[in-house]
Structure 1
Amino acid sequence: MNWLRLDQILQQALELNASDVHLTVSRQPTYRVNGILITVPEEPRLTMEDTMELGREMIPNEKAQQQLDNTGQTDFSITMPRLGRVRVNIYKQRGSWAIVVKLIPLTLPDLDTSGLPSVTKELVMRPSGLLLVTGSIGNGTTTTLAAMINYINQHKSGSILTLEDPIEYLHRHNKSIVNQREIGSDCLSFAEGLEAAFWQNPDVVMLGEMKDLETISGALDLAESGHLVISTLNATNALQAIERVVDVFEPNRREKIRLQMANSLVGIISQHLIPEAKGSGRVLAYEVLINSSAIRNMLRNNALGEIEMAIKSRIVPGMISLEASLNDLYEQGFISEEEMNRKLGEVGLI
């Protein structure tokens, strides 16, 4: 391997405030900073031997190595001495290895500095139901979930159970007990973890992702039975999130699922990170849906098309549309008109 060591690459990433590092053959280490990929001119291009040696240095155990050998990819989180915690995905490509390293901040995220609306605190303190955080990859949904768990842990006595693949942020016991289970090592799957949760007496269950029928069904059942379930979903807005939950089921079950959603839904926060007008950072824009008697009736009657208008009308205090959120950021000078219109066009609002 050449002079560029793993600790040097990760230290460079920290200095650049990068969220991710891409390592692949015939390319310099590439850093994602505020959503943009950049390189450092002085750093050398990596060879096949470099990437494989860097990967071997990070692979934590034989199980991860076997997964890479057998499936062509592996995903895990590790703690790097003096550098902090990282999530690593190694995958095979064109006979070599490529690596993506996600840097996880040493300190737990805080709702007070997250950019989320104040109503978020009220939603996460609900005793039961389903609270969804939606957004595409790279828009901070994992960080938001960690901030929510951190807030509950600081302000409420109870039992918190997380199901993650892999575990990213590490939570300590505070006012609550926090037990974190990693899929593949602590339990076989999200679905099995959710089924077991009924017997583990949690007050709050944080589910890393809802992406298949078994997981969504288990989350709804758990939320309906007196637990607060917090999870993420890959959707751009509340309506799309509801449709994705309902549509994963067979047509003859969808009416029942809409009723479950009507009864158990707490709210949906859809988030988007937008480049700042001044400086090089990003600022959070969001849409917030809060369940109410009117929203419940829309879900029960399959009048989903009315939900967007209800959000725009702010029928419940704290509700806000993405369009209004973006406009607020623009009027306060946080984002440019160009970025506001780009995002509105991206999500189909103009």
Structure 2
Amino acid sequence: MAEQQRIDRFLKLMNDRGASDLHFSVGRPPMLRVGGHIEQIRYRTVKETDLTDLMKPITPPMRWQNFVDTGDTDFSYEVGEIGRFRVNLFKQRRGSGAVFRIIPTNIMTIEQLGLPTQLRKLASVRNGLVIVTGPTGSGKSTTLAAIIDLLNETKGYHIVTIEDPIEFVHTNKKCLIHQREIGTHAPSFAEALRAAGREDPDVILVGELRDLETISMALSAAERGTIVFATLHTNNAIKTVDRIVSVFPAGEQEGARNVLAEGLQGIVAQQLLPKIGGGRVAAVEIVFASPAISNLIRRGKVGQITSLIQGGVRQGMIDMDASIRNLYEEGRVTARA
């Protein structure tokens, strides 16, 4: 128990400092990410034995073995009143490393997050695929949690989430929500997606479209009429479409474009920028499905999507450059953003 209390003190410091992330790396002192910037904690250099003493007691045994065998693992960790954390444990050149990211206990609404209100439209789609995309740490999970919570407040759906690990915990309101964690409740995203098809879902949330099998099954679920929300690590709508199609073998890419063109309902691309006065603010690109966009995807002309986004302002669409420009004109970010 002593080792757990030791890590908990670091997490309390993280919480008190308002940090989003806590980093441990063998050969360096612990570090915090505050306001988007890394800051060193006044503490001695971490040794391999230190990291083992800190991490092994709080890591589920199966996850620890996975770390030993493969070099990295993910899990979630909760500390009483301090909060809940997503944890990545990994091996690197100097030894081992670990990153804790705080998961807010309260799920914030789209409005509370300062996101465009037109994102509420995504809670009204009746089927198909919605992708939230952006670099690591851009708030994808937070945005999806807000959308799922809006569904939970307003719809009578059965929602199945597939995550690695489970981040935001949803209580049942109007919806019945089952949250499944990879490694704990299912061996892989693909296996969990396959099982979800037999669980009578209205909505499936896929924590990450990691590989061909997962992407193919998500597209198939959307094609069957299920609402599928998923995340991807790309920077904008064009790269999102290209990434999905490119994972398929060359002979299957035309078919993948056709399925994506029919099933895609929306893409939300976001990035967090340094905010004037401290903190960070989200710049968001929003694309809603339209016959013209579907036609471009089907024909492989995705480079022309940007002009349709720019012309779709009345439908609530906005491209990334315009979103950043709006933030600058509102005095929320500097010209360097």
Separation in structure 2 between the aligned mates of residue 194 and residue 329 of structure 1, nearest angstrom: 38
Residue 222 of structure 1 aligns to a residue whose secondary structure is: helix
Deviations 1:237-265 (A, max 9, x none): 00000000011111221111111111111
Deviation at 1:47, TM superposition (A): 3.1
Residue 44 of structure 1 aligns to a residue whose secondary structure is: coil
Deviation at 1:191, TM superposition (A): 0.9
Deviation at 1:95, TM superposition (A): 7.0
Residue 271 (1) aligns with residue 270 (2): yes
Q: Is the 8 A contact 1:35 1:138 kept in 2?
A: no
Deviations 1:305-341 (A, max 9, x none): 21111112226510111111111111110011122xx
Q: Is the 8 A contact 2:275 2:281 kept in 1?
A: yes
Residue 16 (1) aligns with residue 42 (2): no
Deviation at 1:100, TM superposition (A): 1.0
Separation in structure 1 between the aligned mates of residue 213 and residue 72 of structure 2, nearest angstrom: 24
Separation in structure 2 between the aligned mates of residue 317 and residue 253 of structure 1, nearest angstrom: 32
Deviations 1:74-119 (A, max 9, x none): 2111212221211112223457432111111111232121222111
Instruction: Indicate the residue corresponding to 2:49 in structure 1.
Output: 49
Instruction: Indicate the residue corresponding to 2:7 in structure 1.
Output: 6
Instruction: Indicate the residue corresponding to 1:347 in structure 2.
Output: none
Structure-1-length-normalised TM-score = 0.91
Q: Is the 8 A contact 1:129 1:223 kept in 2?
A: yes
Instruction: Indicate the residue corresponding to 2:322 in structure 1.
Output: 324
Paired residue type of 1:175: K
**Alignment CA distance shift 1:48-1:251 (3 Å):** closer
Instruction: Indicate the residue corresponding to 1:210 in structure 2.
Output: 209
Q: Is the 8 A contact 2:241 2:297 kept in 1?
A: no
Separation in structure 2 between the aligned mates of residue 23 and residue 302 of structure 1, nearest angstrom: 44
Structure-2-length-normalised TM-score = 0.95
Q: Is the 8 A contact 1:160 1:178 kept in 2?
A: yes
**Alignment CA distance shift 1:267-1:94 (3 Å):** closer
Write out aligned runs for 1:79-90 (5 A): 79-90=78-89
Q: Is the 8 A contact 2:162 2:180 kept in 1?
A: yes
**Alignment CA distance shift 1:213-1:97 (3 Å):** same
**Alignment CA distance shift 1:92-1:262 (3 Å):** closer
Separation in structure 2 between the aligned mates of residue 31 and residue 57 of structure 1, nearest angstrom: 22
Paired residue type of 2:251: N
Deviates more, 1:30-39 or 1:82-91: 82-91
Q: Is the 8 A contact 1:290 1:316 kept in 2?
A: no
Paired residue type of 2:315: P
Separation in structure 1 between the aligned mates of residue 314 and residue 219 of structure 2, nearest angstrom: 23
Write out aligned runs for 1:256-335 (5 A): 256-277=255-276, 279-314=277-312, 317-335=315-333
Residue 110 of structure 1 aligns to a residue whose secondary structure is: coil
**Alignment CA distance shift 1:64-1:301 (3 Å):** closer
Q: Is the 8 A contact 1:52 1:96 kept in 2?
A: no
Deviates more, 1:290-299 or 1:216-225: 290-299
Separation in structure 1 between the aligned mates of residue 301 and residue 197 of structure 2, nearest angstrom: 32
Instruction: Indicate the residue corresponding to 2:112 in structure 1.
Output: 113
Deviations 1:256-292 (A, max 9, x none): 1111111111110100111012x11111111111111
Separation in structure 1 between the aligned mates of residue 219 and residue 29 of structure 2, nearest angstrom: 45
Across the aligned residues of Structure 1 and Structure 2, the Cα RMSD in angstroms comes to: 1.8
Separation in structure 2 between the aligned mates of residue 91 and residue 272 of structure 1, nearest angstrom: 25
Instruction: Indicate the residue corresponding to 1:78 in structure 2.
Output: 77
Separation in structure 1 between the aligned mates of residue 324 and residue 94 of structure 2, nearest angstrom: 45
Residue 296 of structure 1 aligns to a residue whose secondary structure is: helix
Instruction: Indicate the residue corresponding to 1:33 in structure 2.
Output: 34
Deviation at 1:218, TM superposition (A): 0.4
Residue 227 (1) aligns with residue 223 (2): no
Instruction: Indicate the residue corresponding to 2:133 in structure 1.
Output: 134
**Alignment CA distance shift 1:96-1:303 (3 Å):** closer
Deviation at 1:302, TM superposition (A): 2.1
Deviates more, 1:81-90 or 1:7-16: 81-90
Deviates more, 1:237-246 or 1:75-84: 75-84
Instruction: Indicate the residue corresponding to 1:67 in structure 2.
Output: 66
Q: Is the 8 A contact 1:292 1:316 kept in 2?
A: no
Paired residue type of 1:102: R
Residue 315 of structure 2 aligns to a residue whose secondary structure is: coil
Paired residue type of 2:74: D
Residue 69 of structure 1 aligns to a residue whose secondary structure is: helix
Q: Is the 8 A contact 2:122 2:147 kept in 1?
A: no
Separation in structure 1 between the aligned mates of residue 220 and residue 93 of structure 2, nearest angstrom: 43
Unaligned runs of 5+ in 1: 340-350
Separation in structure 1 between the aligned mates of residue 63 and residue 303 of structure 2, nearest angstrom: 45
Unaligned runs of 5+ in 2: none
Separation in structure 2 between the aligned mates of residue 214 and residue 288 of structure 1, nearest angstrom: 26
Instruction: State the number of aligned residues.
Output: 335
**Alignment CA distance shift 1:124-1:271 (3 Å):** same
Paired residue type of 2:204: V
Instruction: Indicate the residue corresponding to 2:58 in structure 1.
Output: 58
Separation in structure 2 between the aligned mates of residue 128 and residue 15 of structure 1, nearest angstrom: 42
Residue 112 of structure 1 aligns to a residue whose secondary structure is: coil
Separation in structure 2 between the aligned mates of residue 169 and residue 280 of structure 1, nearest angstrom: 25
